[in-house]
Amino acid sequence: MIDKKVLHCPLCTLPFKPPVVQGKAGHLACGGCVAQLPFGQCTVCVDGGGFFDPCPALDAVVSSTRTGCPNAGCKLYMTYHEVAEHQKACPQAPCHCTEPGCGYVSAPQALAGHLNTVHSVPFLAVQYGKVSQLQLPVSTPRVVLLGDDNRVFLLIMGVLGAAAAAVSVVCARARAATRPRITCKMWINCGKEDMVLVVMHIRSSSSPGAVAAIDEPTFLPVPRIYLVPAAAGDGASMEVPLHIRMDKISPWSDAL
């Protein structure tokens, strides 16, 4: 147990980052913060006492103090000054349910279960590199897709002018958590020769339910002629016969 104030730089108020330096009067600061001071001197000290020297003792403390990620479901530990950077890319960073009147916030996997059990959003498992065939009622605005690495996606449908629908996919994760990059290929066949196809880089959102398909940079337009009658119903209900395949480009590539 340690008071976090001891580990925070008084200049930037953020956790100390090595190298930590100390002034003649005992004032501490990050080396990076001192480099931005006029002439590299402490603005509090006077009479030439404002120069800083390395502080190896606190440097050792800062470099060895470790803490767990505060995101529920993440079991990783890291150096204290690296927590903020980790949270930006943490796969367990909290996401928000945007169903009307619902303020649920949790990790993506818990959000997927919440959408399915509380809001009756359909739930389907998909495998990377393999084609999944879906029959989606036009009236279904969202479907939760769970990758074989437990990554959560939301397939979104919306109205597109004279066309029947627009379909897109978004990953439920913090916007900064953009690795691995994942591509999605979606298409619909009409007979043996006609096809509507789109290939897209899946974007991320911490509020995936608020994303509209037609507002995404890339989506699949679905003409009415491509719809098929629902397997069970009154003959008036129509469905989108969708083929979808998702692929990881590389777990360590830079994201768009």
Q: What is the pLDDT of residues 16-28, one digit of tens each?
A: 988 999 887 888 8
On the question of pLDDT at 67 being above 90, the answer is no
Domain with CATH 3.30.40.10 in the chain: 4-89
Q: What is the pLDDT of residues 157-177, one digit of tens each?
A: 988 776 678 999 999 887 555
Please tell me the distance from the alpha carbon of residue 139 to that of residue 227, in angstroms, as a whole number: 12
- 154 contacts 256 by C-beta, under 8 angstroms: no
Q: Is the dihedral of CA 153, 157, 160, 163 positive or negative?
A: positive
Q: DSSP 3-state assignment of 251?
A: coil
Q: How far apart are CA 175 and CA 204, in angstroms?
A: 5
For residue 132, name the pLDDT band (cuts at 50, 70, 90): very high
Determine the topology of domain 4-89 in CATH.
Answer: Herpes Virus-1 (3.30.40)
Evaluate the omega torsion of the peptide bond into residue 70 and state whether it is cis, within 30 degrees of 0: no
What stretch(es) of the chain map to CATH 2.60.210.10? 95-250
Confidence of residue 116 (pLDDT cuts 50, 70, 90): very high
Contact predicate 235/229, CB 8 Å: yes
The residues that bridge with 95 in the sheet, in sequence order, are 106
Report the 10 Å Cβ neighbour count for 6. Answer: 12
What's the CATH architecture for 95-250?
A: Sandwich (2.60)
pLDDT-wise least confident of 14-23, 96-105, 171-180, 205-214: 171-180
Q: Is 236 exposed, middle or buried, given 0-12, 13-18 or 19+ CB atoms closer than 10 A?
A: exposed
How far is the C-alpha of 250 from the C-alpha of 36, rounded, in Å?
A: 38
Asked if the bond preceding 19 is cis, omega within 30° of 0, the reply is: yes
Contacts of 129 (CB under 8 A, 6+ apart): 245, 246, 247
Whole-number Å distance between alpha carbons of 255 and 203: 9
